[in-house]
Amino acid sequence: MELAKVTSKGQVTIPIEIRKKLGIKNGDKILFVEEAGKIYMLNSSMDALREAQRAFAGEAERLGLHDDNDVMEMIKEIREESVVK
């Protein structure tokens, strides 16, 4: 457990161990989420990445993409189609 003090301006210095665990760097934005009566602090970039991962879940299988070679082949086909048009 870490402890931090709130300044008169409402600012808090996030302890280094917490910043490391959340992957927070200078200039990053922090997201505060209330859930089930608790407030969670998240690295907003990591939260956006997780949301994108959830949104794309199952798409590779739906498209028949099983490995990197399948992805590269799909990209090649899309590029060829765009050149023909």
pLDDT above 90 for 55: no
Query: If you average pLDDT over every residue of the chain, what do you get?
Result: 87
Residue 22 lies in a domain: yes
Give the pLDDT band (50/70/90) at residue 53. Answer: confident
Which structural domain, as residue segments, surrounds residue 69? 16-84
As for how many domains the chain has, the answer is: 1
Q: What percent of the chain has pLDDT over 90?
A: 28
Question: What is the predicted pLDDT for the residue at 26?
Answer: 92
Cα→Cα distances 76→37, 61, 69, 79, 83, Å: 49, 19, 10, 5, 11
Residue 10 lies in a domain: no
pLDDT above 70 for 30: yes
Residue 8 lies in a domain: no
Residue 4 lies in a domain: no
* Dihedral sign for Cα atoms in the order 31, 34, 39, 40: negative
Q: Which residues make beta-bridge pairs with 42?
A: 31
Residue 38 lies in a domain: yes
Q: φ, ψ for residue 41 (rounded to 5)?
A: -110, 125
Q: For the residues 62-73, what does the mean pLDDT come to?
A: 89
Q: How far apart are CA 15 and CA 18, in angstroms?
A: 5
